[in-house]
Amino acid sequence: EAGVAQSPRYKIIEKRQSVAFWCNPISGHATLYWYQQILGQGPKLLIQFQNNGVVDDSQLPKDRFSAERLKGVDSTLKIQPAKLEDSAVYLCASSPRDRTGGANVLTFGAGSRLTVL
């Protein structure tokens, strides 16, 4: 099966500019996650979707970050305006509908590396 697709792989922008990342999950996967991975740290969950509904966005900086998954398939993550501290790899992951109570395995994309100058 095809994996989780993400684009762009790399993006360099100036602070206060905007950027958008796109993710296409594995076909049929109901749950989609966006994680932020800052250099030297583990991934941190930004937002989780179940189909096109938000399950958890408690750690999403809503003043500058937004995400949508309009048709319950692909998703976009937007940052506007970007700050220096947003430099990170943005990982998208997907998993099947959770029938295991939390033991689902996440499949990750290769990530989108953002550098904010």
Partner 1 sequence: AQSVTQLGSHVSVSEGALVLLRCNYSSSVPPYLFWYVQYPNQGLQLLLKYTTGATLVKGINGFEAEFKKSETSFHLTKPSAHMSDAAEYFCAVSSWGAQKLVFGQGTRLTINP
In sequence order, the 6+-apart residues with CB closer than 8 A to the CB of 39 are: 87, 88
Token digits of residue 78? 């937007």
Q: Which is nearer to partner 1, 14 or 53 (CB)?
A: 53
Binds partner 1 (CB under 8 A): choice among 19, 77, 88, 93: 93
Q: In the set 48, 49, 88, 90, which binds partner 1 (CB under 8 A)?
A: 48
| Residues 109/35/83/113 CA torsion (nearest 10 deg) | -20
3-state secondary structure of 86: helix
Q: Is 67 in the site for partner 1 (CB under 8 A)?
A: no
The site for partner 1 (CB under 8 A) is made up of: 3-4, 31, 33, 40-45, 48, 55-56, 91, 93, 98, 100-111
